[in-house]
């Protein structure tokens, strides 16, 4: 791949922001042209602040961009796409969290998510190609809901197996399949 014309990969982390042994962090370390949406210092649960942070990160990148989002980062990406028209080459949307149903203990409540602008989840066709990576046993979203999201967003749903929430708590640091999906999107 020609690095001069290859897209910049922008990492869009979920609500827990950057985690050292997360597959997104490990993937970023392998890529020649990569940026990450920086963690918020305040208003961490504010969707508007997160969408603004994504937009600000995109504003610093010239040329084509591929987004790599996980969990709540997928929802940030979808909400961003509703409000902005910057061209995006493609997006890997991994393990989207179903924020319209109660999440396990330790995650925000439905009321808190609603109060901070996360609901409802946009069900619009995205203006860029996407691969939606779906776990068959994700504690934050059942497979059928993730398939619905992929269909509504116009993305290609790929079942990646019983990988939990595809995070370190589920035993995932490195996720080599992400690199395969990226090659396809680039």
Q: Is the pLDDT of residue 2 over 60?
A: no
Q: Kindly report which listed range (16-30, 117-131, 152-166) carries the lowest average pLDDT score.
A: 16-30
15 pLDDT band (50/70/90 cuts)? confident
What CATH code is carried by the domain that includes residue 101?
Answer: 3.40.50.1820
Which band of pLDDT confidence, cut at 50, 70 and 90, is reported for residue 16? confident
Task: Report whether pLDDT(174) > 70.
Answer: yes
Q: Flag whether 85 is in a domain.
A: yes
Domain annotation covers residue 3: no
Q: What pTM does this model have? A: 0.94
Maximum pairwise Cα distance, the chain: 47
What's the rounded Cα separation, in Å, for the pair 174 and 123?
Answer: 30
- Residue 4 — very low, low, confident or very high, per pLDDT cuts 50/70/90? low
Within-domain flag for 142:
yes
Task: List, for residues 58-84, the tens digit of each pLDDT value.
Answer: 999 999 999 999 999 999 999 999 999
| 186 three-state secondary structure | coil
Residue 173: the pLDDT is 83
Which domain range does residue 119 map to? 12-180
Give how many domains the chain has, as a whole number.
1
For residue 88, tell me if it sits in a domain.
yes
The DSSP result for 23-44, as a single string, is HHHHHHHH-SSEEEPPPPSS-T
Residue 32 lies in a domain: yes
Tokens for 44, please give them: 């961490």
Helices (H), the chain: 23-30, 47-59, 72-83, 110-115, 143-153, 176-185
- Residue-wise pLDDT tens digits, 126-173: 999 999 999 999 999 999 999 999 999 999 999 999 999 998 888 888
Q: Is the pLDDT of residue 18 over 80?
A: no
Has residue 19 got a pLDDT over 80? no
What's the token pair of residue 139?
């504690």
Q: Give the per-residue pLDDT at 3.
A: 54
**Per residue in 35-58, pLDDT tens?**
999 999 888 899 999 999 999 999
């Amino acid at each position: 791949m020609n690095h001069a014309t290859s897209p910049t990969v922008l990492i869009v982390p979920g609500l827990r922001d950057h985690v050292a042994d997360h597959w997104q962090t490990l993937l970023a370390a392998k890529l020649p042209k990569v940026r990450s949406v920086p963690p918020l210092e305040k208003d961490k649960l504010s969707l508007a602040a997160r969408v603004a942070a994504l937009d600000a990160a995109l504003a610093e990148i010239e040329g084509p961009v591929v987004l790599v989002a996980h969990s709540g980062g997928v929802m940030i990406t979808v909400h961003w796409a509703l409000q902005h028209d910057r061209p995006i080459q493609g997006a890997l949307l991994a393990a989207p969290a179903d924020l319209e149903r109660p999440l396990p203990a330790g995650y925000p409540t439905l009321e808190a998510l609603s109060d901070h602008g996360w609901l409802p989840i946009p069900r619009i066709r995205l203006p860029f190609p996407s691969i939606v990576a779906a776990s068959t046993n994700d504690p934050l979203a059942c497979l059928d809901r993730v398939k619905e999201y992929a269909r509504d967003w116009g993305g290609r749903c790929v079942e990646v197996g019983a990988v939990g929430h595809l995070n370190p708590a589920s035993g995932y640091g490195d996720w080599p399949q992400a690199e395969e999906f990226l090659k396809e999107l680039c």
